[in-house]
Amino acid sequence: MPMPEDGTTMMRPDVIIDVTGNACPVPIMRTLIALNKMKKGQILAVITDHPPSLKSIPEGIGERGHEHVNTEELNGYKKPTWRVLVRKLHE
């Protein structure tokens, strides 16, 4: 996986989903489906190139009681791409 553009230390996610090439609502829907399969405390990394997802994913998971850990821009992709980290806070 490419490194974050700002050089921050990469947190190791438990699950990674790649939703590049998908527009809303697919990224948030796939995020919620993945969270439903995970255990409390696990970290999900969502790879997206759809800028509106940078708002819809943190808002959508927050409304359901989960935590937006951070968002990092990634290098090595043909277009701007980000990694959104989410922590599952409850079953």
Q: For residue 86, with 0-12 CB atoms within 10 Å meaning exposed, 13-18 middle and 19 or more buried, which class applies?
A: buried
Catalytic-role residue among 10, 24, 29, 32: 24
| Rg (alpha carbons) of the chain, rounded to whole number | 12
In tens, the pLDDT along 12-51 reads: 999 999 999 999 999 999 999 999 999 999 999 999 999 9
Q: What is the pLDDT of residue 7?
A: 44
For residue 24, indicate whether it is catalytic.
yes
Global pTM value: 0.88
For residue 83, what are the β-bridge partners? 47, 72
